[in-house]
Amino acid sequence: MAKSTGLLFNPNVYDPRQFDPETRRQLRAVIDWFEGRGKRKLLQDDLDAVWVSDFLDLIKRERIFATFLTPSEYGGDDPNKRWDTSRNAALSEIFGFYGLAYWYAEQVTILGLGPIWQSDNIKAKERAAEQLEAGGVMAFALSEREHGADIYNTDMVLTPGDDDEGVVFRASGEKYYIGNGNVAGMVSVFSRRADVDGADGYVWFVADSTHENYELIGNVVHGQMYVSNFRLNDYPVHEEDILCAGPDAFSVALNTVNVGKFNLCSGSIGMCEHAFYEAITHANNRILYGNPVTDFPHVRASFVEAYARLVAMKLFSDRAIDYFRSASRDDRRYLLFNPVTKSKVTSEGETVVTLLWDILAAKGFEKNTYFCQVARLIGALPRLEGTVHVNVAQILKFMPNYMFNPADYPEIGTRNDPADDVFFWAQGPARGASKVQFADWAPSYEKFLDVPNVARFYEQAGALKELLATAAPDPDQMRDLDFLLVVGHLFTLVVYGQLILEQADLIGLDHELVDQIFDVQIRDFSAHGVALHGKPSSTSAQQEWALSAVRRPVVDADRFDRVWQHVKAYDGAYVMRP
């Protein structure tokens, strides 16, 4: 299992040699700041719901957001400024490792920047670059209390300007669930014109949270994260504040989500990694009935499964980065992998924490553990930025072409080169998901058919293809989201497995760990198959298929024991200083 070591982020030995020296220095500076504060301070600030102002002081002092979140075009003379998804993901994982509130401050800054960097408003872009350099943060004001993130509806209304001071509109209305809305220098606001109907009336503009017509109503959650509710009262909107309008504004909203919410996966991974270190270090040194807790077979099984799921989360997410960075108008495969990171990876994070919590039991409630914070907040990630069912519904749009209509693409390797991901800001109209094609998924599996559980899961993937060809959902079932979601989960597992295997191949991952990961994949597929069998609208043919697709993983006690020894080696590998 030698090639499996170092798969989890460990602050004690972290040295991301794939990045340039300045990126490594800045990532190390962030880690050292958290480690210097210590666990007691980290946890107390969470318990006291302290706003992350000292963290933002670090961001300003080390120019973290300025360097990581400014496209090179607006980076001035600084050669280190670029939008580089690989290093952004690394930073996001570190933030998640130390606390969701820190990750969230970056996450909503990324979202707030999306409409700005996609716009043609040069002045707004220059302002954003200046504010990032000054240590500022941004906000993304799409959601509303009544409409949620429904882009088709907004009660933020623009009326034509009423004076001669360059005011083209007056904005009035409330926004809800807006992170950083208490301090953001530039708040990207989604609105509609009162004098124009339909999509032609959509407008993105920027507002300043310090303006007298910007009314901060309060924080809608209790915690370090500031998830604001604010109101604009006849807020003056000038020409230089307008980012985009009409159907383009609709596309910008969706494209921002495609770029900005990718980091949900790395935030979840970081949280799970810290929780995993605490859990194995506690359980392996906890004596119960005269033996370490980890001597119990069910405890070992839970740890091995949690580890396999966590490694799979990292493998999929790391490989998805390559597709994001290589995207173009002719290769939009990232549009599938993005909702998989948002729904599947974050849901897996919940599963990992539940497995660990079943081991820790009462210990998982103790306020002097980071685990207590993770257990409370891990469920936010699949829900905070779009529910799982919304993302699975999006995933289903890609299923026909993915399963049946492959296309040829150049081979994509590992993308950790120091390049600016400029396509993110030139994605164009957000439509045509059903037309996106993919390379044939089968060869990724066929490389690993010597791994018993990969071969068995490949049978299940083939069975799904057979279901879609011979007993596909009928028109009524296509309108039954409860039924379709199960099909979506089955399909997601095939996509998930493909990228896991691609990344395992790229890094030379030990095949025994791959085998253990696909032990989980098989059981998950079988569980969804049984769920499909039980759906009220499933046909007799679909029910028959569901039972025939159930498989039992290939059991190998020696393999399990070797993976367990690797898991056990994480005992004490990282313990945060008091």
Q: pLDDT band at 429, cuts 50/70/90?
A: confident
pLDDT value of residue 217: 98
- The predicted model gives 339-352 an average pLDDT of 95
- The predicted model gives 32-61 an average pLDDT of 97
pLDDT, greater one: 99 or 385:
99
Q: pLDDT band at 6, cuts 50/70/90?
A: confident
Q: pLDDT band at 385, cuts 50/70/90?
A: low
- The predicted model gives 35-63 an average pLDDT of 97
- Is the pLDDT at 1 greater than 70? The verdict is no
What percentage of residues in the chain have a pLDDT greater than 70?
98
The chain-wide mean pLDDT, for the chain, equals 95
pLDDT value of residue 149: 74
The rounded distance, in Å, linking the Cα atoms of 365 and 155 is 41
- The predicted model gives 260-289 an average pLDDT of 95
- How do residues 517-543 score in pLDDT, each as one tens digit? 999 999 999 999 999 999 999 999 999
Burial degree of 287 (CB within 10 A; 0-12, 13-18, 19+): exposed
- The predicted model gives 106-130 an average pLDDT of 97
Burial degree of 352 (CB within 10 A; 0-12, 13-18, 19+): buried
- In angstroms, what CA-CA distances link 71 with 117, 396, 470? 8, 33, 48
Which class does domain 21-136 fall in? mainly alpha
- How do residues 172-200 score in pLDDT, each as one tens digit? 999 999 999 999 999 999 999 999 998 89
Report the CATH number of the 140-246 domain. Answer: 2.40.110.10
**Least confident window among 15-24, 233-242, 397-406, 431-440:** 431-440
- Is the pLDDT at 507 greater than 80? The verdict is yes
- In angstroms, what CA-CA distances link 39 with 35, 52, 284, 371? 8, 15, 21, 12
Domain ranges of the chain: 21-136, 140-246, 252-407+433-568
Q: Are 256 and 114 in contact (CB under 8 A)?
A: yes
The pair of structure tokens assigned to 178 is 């807006």
- Is the pLDDT at 3 greater than 80? The verdict is no
Q: pLDDT band at 4, cuts 50/70/90?
A: very low
pLDDT value of residue 386: 61
The pair of structure tokens assigned to 481 is 């989201």
The pair of structure tokens assigned to 465 is 């293809």
Burial degree of 149 (CB within 10 A; 0-12, 13-18, 19+): middle
Q: Are 567 and 307 in contact (CB under 8 A)?
A: yes
Q: pLDDT band at 2, cuts 50/70/90?
A: very low
- How do residues 54-77 score in pLDDT, each as one tens digit? 999 999 999 999 999 999 999 999
Alpha helices in 134-236 (DSSP H): none
Give SS3 for 391: helix
Helix or strand holding residue 352 (H, E): helix 346-360
pTM: 0.96
Identify any residues that bridge with 292 across adjacent strands, giving them in sequence order.
Answer: 287
- In angstroms, what CA-CA distances link 328 with 20, 86, 117? 25, 17, 17
- How do residues 532-576 score in pLDDT, each as one tens digit? 999 999 999 999 999 999 999 999 999 999 999 999 999 999 999
Q: Which CATH superfamily is domain 252-407+433-568 in?
A: Butyryl-CoA Dehydrogenase, subunit A, domain 3 (1.20.140.10)
Rg of the chain's alpha carbons, rounded to an integer?
24
Amino acid at the residue 78: D
- The predicted model gives 107-117 an average pLDDT of 97
